[in-house]
Structure 1
């Protein structure tokens, strides 16, 4: 026979002992019910996302098929964009594909090394009292609207890139890529757009890379330092291999914004239907810029043609993200997560 605590009646102790299993069972039932609700909500969210993606793809394919059936030229190789020509509608995406991919590539070549350097400085070099404000400052760049970047690029970047373009033409003009056909012309080129996009995607890549570098196991860094490695050797052997998948993911996020940026590109770039390998010459175009500039004045066929170009950009974005996922999955052995 169990004795009750002093001052507590035996009947109260026995009642609480009898009801505790019931309470425990009720809590377990509520927990299972919560798990079921969360599982259903998660599955429903995933299915809803797939449905939305399929609906977008289906809509774009339907409108694109209407336009392509009316196109009298090759949609993939034509430079001209005149879909509302009643007698002979003609439009193609050759210039848009080239401009979109080249400007995004220039942006990534500039932004990725700089972003990784900034992320390493904040996470491993700068004192805390400096790193924290510096990180906030970099993050604030992501909050700047695209139109502000576009106005800054048109009013400041374009007038001040003449000297750089002349220098590139003088020393690298033999590469044909940096040959300046019209010296003194405004720098409204794909090269200028690439620099502007690099500034715009810099905070995204930096923020993600910084958080990945902070997740490196401390024992890995201390082990490298204990073996006599310098700080750079420790970063090269312990930090960068661990953060490689994160760097790739961050770069793909930045590339996604670079591919789809609209207002800033439309403000800076001098649109034309000329495809030139001289990156310093004015002209060219991107998918997003072409849609933004021509949608308001486009007719029925023109809008369907713009939808077709949007479908191509949609496919390019999916391929880029799919390739990034494959690269990350292939390099999981470098992540250090299983160490």
Structure 2
């Protein structure tokens, strides 16, 4: 060995073989991962076994039937109304919340002064901590009367006169509890998730990119459109899908304001129901082992499938954008 040369570092474990602590940590991590799979599999199996009697009785017609007749001897159940209400309310909530969330994120990252960014950001994050039942109570006493008086009654004639889209606002029900009201409450509930995600990823854009665009004479909107959004589009889509998943499974808030009418809505102002709300309302009243309980299990299984399809679609979309 030459003068001044350092000896090679000894391997971890000092020749004693595999360290017991490392091995224990490795198997604990593996166990945690396997536990997640077991829990997920247990939920799927439980729902599917409970739903089997309904699937055997109604077959694929359960997905398209709008009947929900719990009268003994004439029982007939279908999930079309609940499935449609779940998907429609969640999509409407995304349509309402994404532009507002983008505006909040744009304001906090590009327009707001430093002294205002933290209070507003904290207020947005606190919205996520509000319990869903509080949103439901607030929606019932505030949003429902507002929609009834200031949108449905005040603007109903103007909305129904819109070419090609007027039929969406024609309704014979004026109670205020409707698919539209549920979508507004859901939009407010998922707003903090999407806005916080957008704000955080907008802040991750390297300043040199934006400064270069400003140096070329771009406006703030052009910088966001041409630099910030392309750089963060993957995370933005992920945040939107997070909000969509939250909206699909919401229970109590929707139960308060959607009307819980088991019939297919003809307009946005008609009452309807969702999978989560109908399960919450009727599961405690169902008899153990009854066909009604099996139908509710089937709805729960379908909600799981819908959530999985949304997640799979988001993963596919993210992968395609990564390759692009």
Task: Provide the TM-score with structure 2 as the length reference.
Answer: 0.89
Q: Does residue 106 of the first structure (1) align with residue 96 of the second (2)?
A: no
Identify if the C-alpha distance between structure 1 residues 230 and 21 changes in structure 2 by more than 3 Å, giving closer, same or farther.
closer
Distance, in Å, in 1 between the alignment partners of 2:15 and 2:323 is 39
Identify if the C-alpha distance between structure 1 residues 41 and 333 changes in structure 2 by more than 3 Å, giving closer, same or farther.
same
Distance, in Å, in 2 between the alignment partners of 1:112 and 1:31 is 51
Unpaired runs of 5+ residues, structure 1, are 1-16, 335-339
Instruction: Tell me the CA shift for residue 218 of structure 1.
Output: 1.8
Q: Which has the larger radius of gyration?
A: 1
The 5-angstrom pairing of residues 304-323 of structure 1 reads 304-323=294-313
Distance, in Å, in 2 between the alignment partners of 1:290 and 1:332 is 39
Instruction: Tell me the CA shift for residue 133 of structure 1.
Output: 0.6
Distance, in Å, in 2 between the alignment partners of 1:94 and 1:194 is 18
* 1:102-135 residue CA offsets vs partner (Å, 9 max, x unmatched): 1111110000110011012112221111001100
Distance, in Å, in 2 between the alignment partners of 1:89 and 1:67 is 11
2:206 aligned to which of 214, 217, 224 = 217
Identify if the C-alpha distance between structure 1 residues 89 and 230 changes in structure 2 by more than 3 Å, giving closer, same or farther.
same
Instruction: Tell me the CA shift for residue 30 of structure 1.
Output: 10
Distance, in Å, in 2 between the alignment partners of 1:140 and 1:27 is 51
Instruction: Tell me the CA shift for residue 39 of structure 1.
Output: 4.1
Aligned to 1:298: 286
* 1:81-102 residue CA offsets vs partner (Å, 9 max, x unmatched): 235x442321001110111111
Matched residue pairs, number?
312
2:36 aligned to which of 41, 45, 49 = 49
Instruction: Tell me the CA shift for residue 38 of structure 1.
Output: 4.5
The 5-angstrom pairing of residues 58-207 of structure 1 reads 58-71=45-58, 74-83=61-70, 85-161=71-147, 162-174=149-161, 175-182=166-173, 185-207=174-196
The 8 Å contact of residues 153 and 268 in structure 1, kept in 2 or not, is answered as yes
The 5-angstrom pairing of residues 13-32 of structure 1 reads 25-26=12-13
Distance, in Å, in 2 between the alignment partners of 1:119 and 1:37 is 44
Identify if the C-alpha distance between structure 1 residues 214 and 69 changes in structure 2 by more than 3 Å, giving closer, same or farther.
same
Query: Secondary structure at the residue paired with 1:242?
Result: helix
Q: Does residue 229 of the first structure (1) align with residue 218 of the second (2)?
A: yes
2:254 aligned to which of 258, 265, 269 = 265
The 8 Å contact of residues 70 and 89 in structure 1, kept in 2 or not, is answered as no
Distance, in Å, in 1 between the alignment partners of 2:14 and 2:226 is 49
The 8 Å contact of residues 72 and 90 in structure 1, kept in 2 or not, is answered as no
Task: Provide the TM-score with structure 1 as the length reference.
Answer: 0.85
Query: Secondary structure at the residue paired with 2:62?
Result: coil
Instruction: Tell me the CA shift for residue 26 of structure 1.
Output: 4.7
Q: Does residue 324 of the first structure (1) align with residue 314 of the second (2)?
A: yes
Aligned to 1:288: 276
The 8 Å contact of residues 79 and 93 in structure 1, kept in 2 or not, is answered as yes
Query: Secondary structure at the residue paired with 2:74?
Result: coil
* 1:168-208 residue CA offsets vs partner (Å, 9 max, x unmatched): 422221420011324xx221000000001000000011111
Distance, in Å, in 1 between the alignment partners of 2:239 and 2:130 is 19
